[in-house]
Amino acid sequence: MPTLNSNSNSNPNSLWWRDGVIYQIYPRSLADSNGDGVGDLPGLIGKLDYLASLGVDALWLSPINKSPMRDFGYDVSDYEDIAPVFGSRADFDTLIAEAHRRGLKIVMDLVLNHTSDEHSWFRESRSSHSNPKADWYIWRDPAPGGNAPKPPNNWASVFGGSAWEWDETRGQFYHHMFLKEQPDLNWRNAEARAALMNTAKFWLERGVDGFRLDVVNAYFKDALFRDNPASFSLDPRAALPWFRQRHLHDYDQPDLHSVYRELRQLLDARPERGLIGEIFMTEDPRVFARYLGDDQLHLVYDPAFAAQPWLPRSFQRIVAEREAALGADAWPCYCLSNHDWPRHVTRHGGGPFAAARSKVAAAMLLTLRGTPLLYMGEEIAMPSPNLARHELIDPPSKRFWPFYNRDCARTPMQWDESLNAGFTTGKPWLPVGASHKKINVAAQTDDPNSVLNFYRALIQLRKASPALRRGSYRPLIERPVAAMTYLRETDSQTMLVALNFFGHDVTVPMPPGQWACRLSTHAAEHAPGETLTLAPFEASIFERR
């Protein structure tokens, strides 16, 4: 049983970030209240009853700050304001109050690695060498030699090309890990650092319950600006310079801990707040385990779990690595989808078994030892539509077509079968998936066998079960081929989860004891003995009597 310290002043028996379920909202795509085709805060407020009915505990909102939207909000031009397309600060205050009234926490996305190039800080910084914010971003002189200015080192941008952009006014390069319109902040500058801390303070004072910290392990770069060593890769992504380097010097730097500690102190001064970091490009949990703990981040999530192919052994391996690396005083966190990857329903194969497969995936995500992060729409097994090239609007998706597609994760939420799926009365900012005629919230609400109602039942079961929330995790099949089974145990309760990933029967061994089925995708009454035969795509959860 892990011994986790809680925040001060809170109920240590139930903390939303550890015991709850977090639901990610991409606000542009949830619900549009004013017909401009873009989702907004009043639209979101109108859906709070639905969100509360899922039984989730916290809502993480992708960025809603003022932004020119080159990266759809991950390029902030004013940390203390709300983008007008989403609403006003008053709307945000209403959202907090209405969410809290329903027992829902609000987690804000803070993008502190970079700003928009339209942020007043960057405008000032780039205006001269001597302005007060000259050092707030990462500026470097060109490397010697050559006719044209040469970038200071070989660091690459994730979104293609060099991470260095030439600026005529300063006669220097600035660093950008992402788009050139997203200059990286210089966390080594004390004033910039204080301003960023104030951003967190500002929103805590307005009542937010926590933050999802964008690319949390990228804030610092090597102080000596050393080149990354080259690496060889057969990965098709190695066409990009980013994937032909070992990233020793541009993220996961030792200086990060002091920032996490300072942020954590800000949060711990208030009851039950949570810090969730997005780990960027680091799959080794031993690295990010160091960012967790009583005085640093509460949770981190990495893309590794979500990226697995639909094979039980792949998921089991990822979980085993995290169980081993995180140890007793750090808590895991898993997701299957978010706004950056095609939805898992589609990645896992789609087709006629998509709904059945997605119930198995949900049963896994919601019964593992670790906080589940859901992405809006997965509770109805909403697929990622096939968008035509001309329909793409996300810059990296356009640039790397057909290999990379984030737009297909961001199409509007499918509420009903009407023309725009009940999302907007106007022209939606991204096309509505054609699947909405069949796959939508309205159609699934009254169907007892729907994916939506299975998610609800799973969340309720997790809430009611101490073993599923906090118990130890023990896989029962060493090298699973078709089915994954595991125990979740506390002193007072033992639960067994059995998941058949494929479309044929599978028989698995059962541990001794009498098992009562608590929830199943299949109505048939099970009376497992020494073995249990799972039907195609069956997910069943048992409790030891």
To ligand TEU, the closest distance from the beta carbon of 279 in angstroms equals 8
Query: Which CB, 397 or 521, lies closer to ligand TEU?
Result: 397
Among 22, 41, 82, 215, binds ligand TEU (CB under 6 A): 215
Residues 6 or more apart whose CB falls under 8 angstroms from that of 194 comprise none
To ligand TEU, the closest distance from the beta carbon of 170 in angstroms equals 24
To ligand TEU, the closest distance from the beta carbon of 158 in angstroms equals 5
CA distance 323 to 55: 26
To ligand TEU, the closest distance from the beta carbon of 74 in angstroms equals 3
Query: Which H or E run includes 416?
Result: none
CB-CB contact of 273 with 298 (8 Å) = no
Radius of gyration of the chain (CA): 24
Q: Which of residues 139-158 bind ligand TEU (CB under 6 A)?
A: 158
* End-to-end CA, the chain: 21
Query: Which CB, 117 or 272, lies closer to ligand TEU?
Result: 117
Q: Which of residues 102-131 bind ligand TEU (CB under 6 A)?
A: 111
Among 57, 214, 268, 489, binds ligand TEU (CB under 6 A): 214
Query: Which CB, 373 or 497, lies closer to ligand TEU?
Result: 373
CA distance 157 to 164: 8
Segment contacting ligand TEU (CB under 6 A): 14-22, 140-148, 334-342, 354-362?
334-342
Q: Which of residues 335-354 bind ligand TEU (CB under 6 A)?
A: 339-341
74 lies in the binding site for ligand TEU (CB under 6 A)? yes
Strand, helix or coil at 93? helix
Query: Which CB, 302 or 489, lies closer to ligand TEU?
Result: 302
Among 16, 86, 155, 178, binds ligand TEU (CB under 6 A): 178
Segment contacting ligand TEU (CB under 6 A): 25-33, 333-341, 473-481, 507-515?
333-341
71 lies in the binding site for ligand TEU (CB under 6 A)? yes
To ligand TEU, the closest distance from the beta carbon of 180 in angstroms equals 13
262 is catalytic: no
CB-CB contact of 379 with 398 (8 Å) = no
79 lies in the binding site for ligand TEU (CB under 6 A)? no
Catalytic position from the list 214, 323, 340, 407: 214
Catalytic position from the list 75, 184, 250, 278: 278
191 secondary structure, DSSP code: H
Query: Which CB, 71 or 272, lies closer to ligand TEU?
Result: 71
392 lies in the binding site for ligand TEU (CB under 6 A)? no
Other Cβ atoms within 10 Å of 348 Cβ, number: 20
CA distance 137 to 169: 15
Query: Which CB, 138 or 158, lies closer to ligand TEU?
Result: 158
Other Cβ atoms within 10 Å of 50 Cβ, number: 15
CA distance 373 to 352: 26
82 lies in the binding site for ligand TEU (CB under 6 A)? no
Q: Using the CB atoms, write b or e for 189-212: b if 16+ within 10 Å.
A: beebbebbbebbeebbeeebbbbb
To ligand TEU, the closest distance from the beta carbon of 62 in angstroms equals 7
- As a dihedral over the C-alpha atoms of residue 29, residue 32, residue 36, residue 42, rounded to 10 degrees, the angle is -120
Q: Which of residues 265-324 bind ligand TEU (CB under 6 A)?
A: 280, 303
Beta strands 139-140; 172-175: pairing state: antiparallel
Query: Which CB, 137 or 341, lies closer to ligand TEU?
Result: 341
Secondary structure E strands in 328-427:
333-335, 371-375
CA distance 463 to 56: 10
To ligand TEU, the closest distance from the beta carbon of 91 in angstroms equals 23
525 is catalytic: no
CA distance 481 to 314: 10
Question: What tokens appear for 180 in the block?
Answer: 């050139």
Query: Which CB, 67 or 172, lies closer to ligand TEU?
Result: 67
Site for ligand TEU, rule CB under 6 A: 71, 74, 111, 158, 178, 214-215, 280, 303, 339-341
The catalytic residue positions are 214, 278
